[in-house]
Amino acid sequence: MAITLTESAARHVSSFLAKRGKGVGIRLGVRTSGCSGMAYKLEYADDMQSDDIVFESHGVKVLVDPKSLPYLDGTELDFARQGLNEGFRFNNPNVKDQCGCGESFNV
Amino acid sequence: MALLQISEPGLSPEPHKQRLAVGIDLGTTNSLVATVRNGIAVVLSDEQGHPLLPSVVRYRGDARVEVGFAAQAAQARDARNTVVSVKRFMGRGLKDVAHVESMPYDFVDDGGMVRLRTVAGVKSPVEISAEILRVLGERARASLGGELTGSVITVPAYFDDAQRQATKDAARLAGINVLRLLNEPTAAAIAYGLDNAAEGVYAVYDLGGGTFDFSVLKLTRGVFEVMATSGDAVLGGDDFDQRIFCWILDNAHVSPPSAEDARLLLLKARQAKEYLSGEPEAHIGARLASGEEVDLVLAAETFTHLTHPLVAKTLVPVRKALRDAGLRPEDVKGVVMVGGATRMPQVQRAVAEYFHQEPLTNLDPDKVVALGAAIQANALAGNRAADEDWLLLDVIPLSLGLETMGGLAEKVIPRNSTIPVARAQEFTTYKDGQTAMSFHVVQGERELVSECRSLARFDLRGIPPMTAGAARIRVTFQVDADGLLSVSARELATGVEASIAVKPSYGLGDEEIARMLQDSFAHASDDMHARVLREHRVEAQRLLDATDVALREDGQLLSTQERVAVDAALVQLRSRMAGEDHRALRQAVDSLNAATMELAARRMDQSIRQALSGRRVDTVGI
């Protein structure tokens, strides 16, 4: 069971955390909503919860709550550019189908 | 597939609900667009990685429009169709624009905002600015991967209603929703997070390419108010280049350069200036078209010496603004540096010395205004937690009011009120059976309308006929977050309503605002006298009219002797109406009042008798 960051994603997260000036890492999660059932959560993490599962990838701590982990297990978080746009992308092997936008998905 | 951004804890947006908002610094020389991404304010660059977009628009013969670097490159060969510094024309009539004679444009002056005749037709500053905003908007959409919810656009603190409205119009024309306009110094302070800092006074020192602006802000409960602004419209980084350029000519012993060589040397001068911000000396080397060689070394110390008068010149408006705000340099809690020219160490040293503290310089001074605007836009678009209270206020520079009888200005919203603000005041009719009322909206501190600035006029019609003073007309003045005024009048019995949004064709410069304020102080006692006199005149006229009506209807209620006394008082009052002595006028009003007291009492008795005749006492609702 693991969640990883690509090197590029880790580099960007580290730099954002440094600029933000606080935070122990990032929190990944899912919640039910969106056009295809589930939606990703991608947030800065300021505190660690007691039941959080913590991964470390390229020096970045990734926190996941136990309920979200089954939906995310094996996910690799990547940083991508599309023209002028840039941001993070979930490469999630559990996904069966997703809406065209990629902001929500089904397992 | 959409790319996700990292949100603040608990603030992950619903899918497709991320509200994209940007801050735009629509500058005189350069413009920028910024946003908050991954919780951090960043400036958005173009495909080539340029964060700055030169505020230059070129209209071409083939109906295409170039904006930015391409337009800037064509400036020399197509000056008439290439508009630089359009910001100076926003909301301005031709007579308000300085140095028109030295500008290469074909101006069209038809009384309103100045317009320019180009190869693509006559263009207004609003249309030209819209071209710049359109490019920035496109850049933002491409960078954020979606439609924009809205934007915050910055304007100089001294921009008046006309200039602010012109900026909003330009955004609308460019298809960009404006959440609000924000004063540039306030934006810079926000970028440094000063809104979360200790309450007190902060200063913003903004030395751009061609202009210098200095503002004093007061922070109270997270809200900035602009206390004073000052500046120099023709002082900026370009003047420092010019000093180096002259030094090169003095020291390189070359013949007077051609236009092309002059441009080259000016470029070298600028490069040397920028280099000297981090190094003790700069090498200036160039081969001129004339074949001559320039090979010089400029020491930082020499540069500081050369430009000392320029730096000293910026401190003149600084002192003035502090004096206007009634402050000493040590009252200022922090100084924010804005504008590329504040990178020069001698500028930073002079500011540090004057304020006895190191100025804030760790953010890029070219980007700080756009970054602050982005932070504000993000908050206004609703991308922040609900418990984070965020309201930013500015103040209106001059009082807003209405003309009342006798040419007096009745202030409805006093100057320095924080905006947004709404104030209502009730007015009434002056004549019996009056069915319409004219409203004249004025701006200024003086007591007489003729000394204030007229903003707008409108009429309220359909007031039901009533006796004078019986109608109740509520007039509401509302100034929105951008300082734009709308006035509405409503007759309370019938609900008839009329309103107007004030969009003056001409604006006031900050100098004019300052002049109007000073006049109001200088003429305070004249004004008071004038106000008293006019008030008495209005009162006298009302009394004369009422007496005429009463005599016509019920003159028979007076004895001949009483009638003679009333007529004498009438004649006396009429003769004093035109005089300047308000005491004599008051006296005549009092005499007529006294002479007609008995008549008024008898009329009252008569009308009560008529009203009660034939009715039982228990049906009279007293």
**pLDDT tens per residue, range B144-163:** 988 888 999 999 988 887 88
**pLDDT band at residue B222 using 50, 70 and 90 as cut-offs:** confident
Q: What pLDDT shows up at residue B515?
A: 65
B109 in catalytic set: no
B191 Cβ neighbours under 8 A, 6+ residues apart: B41, B363, B368, B369, B371, B372, B375
pLDDT of A13 strictly over 50: yes
Which residues of chain B are within 8 Å of residue A100 when distances are taken between CB atoms? Answer: 1
Q: Look at residues B50, B28, B35, B43 and name the one whose alpha carbon lies nearest to residue B5.
A: B35
pLDDT of B390 strictly over 50: no
CB contact under 8 A, B3 and A82: yes
Interface of A with B (CB under 8 A): 12-13, 16, 19-20, 26-27, 29, 31, 33-35, 39-46, 80, 82-90, 99-104
Mutation pick from A5, A15, A26, A44 vs chain B, by most beta carbons of B within 10 Å, is A44
Q: Are B537 and B585 in contact (CB under 8 A)?
A: yes
B25 in catalytic set: yes
Q: Look at residues B20, B34, B21 and name the one whose alpha carbon lies nearest to residue B366.
A: B34
Cis peptide before B365 (omega within 30 of 0): no
CATH number of B237-307: 3.90.640.10
B184 in catalytic set: yes
Q: Which CATH class is domain B525-612?
A: mainly alpha
CB contact under 8 A, A16 and B145: no
B25, B127, B161, B195: the active-site residue? B25
| CA B453 from centroid of its chain's CA atoms | 14
Alpha helices in B145-211 (DSSP H): 161-173, 184-191
In the CATH scheme, what architecture does the domain B1-192+366-386 have?
Answer: 2-Layer Sandwich (3.30)
**pLDDT band at residue B614 using 50, 70 and 90 as cut-offs:** low
Q: Tell me the ipTM for this assembly.
A: 0.88
B390 Cβ neighbours under 8 A, 6+ residues apart: B222, B379, B380, B384
Which residues of chain A are within 8 Å of residue B40 when distances are taken between CB atoms? Answer: 16, 19-20
Alpha helices in B276-367 (DSSP H): 300-325, 345-355
Q: What pLDDT shows up at residue B505?
A: 36
Which residues of chain B are within 8 Å of residue A13 when distances are taken between CB atoms? Answer: 6
CB contact under 8 A, B3 and A39: no
Q: What pLDDT shows up at residue A104?
A: 67
Comparing CB atoms, the residue among B2, B6, B142 nearest residue A103 is: B2
Average pLDDT over every residue of B53-66: 94
Q: What pLDDT shows up at residue B517?
A: 64
CB contact under 8 A, B139 and A33: no
Q: N- to C-terminal Cα distance for chain B?
A: 78
**pLDDT band at residue B504 using 50, 70 and 90 as cut-offs:** very low
Q: What pLDDT shows up at residue B258?
A: 84
pLDDT of B39 strictly over 90: no
Q: What pLDDT shows up at residue B135?
A: 97
**CA of B143: which chain A residue's CA is closest?**
A85
Higher pLDDT, B219 or B126: B126
Place of tokens 């991608």: A42
pLDDT of A34 strictly over 60: no
**pLDDT band at residue B482 using 50, 70 and 90 as cut-offs:** low
Which residues of chain A are within 8 Å of residue B8 when distances are taken between CB atoms? Answer: 43-44
Which residues of chain A are within 8 Å of residue B9 when distances are taken between CB atoms? Answer: 27, 43-46
Residue B46 at interface with chain A, using a CB cutoff of 8 Å = yes
Q: What pLDDT shows up at residue B511?
A: 61
**Mean of per-residue pLDDT scores for chain B:** 86
Which residues of chain B are within 8 Å of residue A90 when distances are taken between CB atoms? Answer: 4
B78, B127, B206, B445: the active-site residue? B206
Residue B578 at interface with chain A, using a CB cutoff of 8 Å = no
**pLDDT tens per residue, range B310-352:** 999 999 999 999 998 899 999 999 999 999 999 999 999 999 9
| The domain over range B396-521 is classified in CATH as 2.60.34.10 | yes
pLDDT of B248 strictly over 50: yes
Q: How far is A45 from chain B (nearest CA, A)?
A: 6
**pLDDT band at residue B71 using 50, 70 and 90 as cut-offs:** very high
Q: Domain residue spans in chain B?
A: 1-192+366-386, 237-307, 396-521, 525-612
In the CATH scheme, what architecture does the domain A4-106 have?
Answer: Sandwich (2.60)
B46, B66, B78, B87: the active-site residue? B87
**pLDDT tens per residue, range B262-278:** 888 999 999 999 999 99
Distance from C-alpha of A6 to C-alpha of B320, rounded to nearest angstrom: 56
Question: What is the arrangement of strands in the sheet containing B200-207, beginning at the earlier edge strand?
Answer: B223-232, B212-220, B200-207, B332-338
Q: Domain residue spans in chain A?
A: 4-106
B46, B160, B184, B232: the active-site residue? B184
CB contact under 8 A, B5 and A87: yes
CB contact under 8 A, A43 and B38: no
- Of chain B, the percentage scoring pLDDT greater than 70 comes to 90
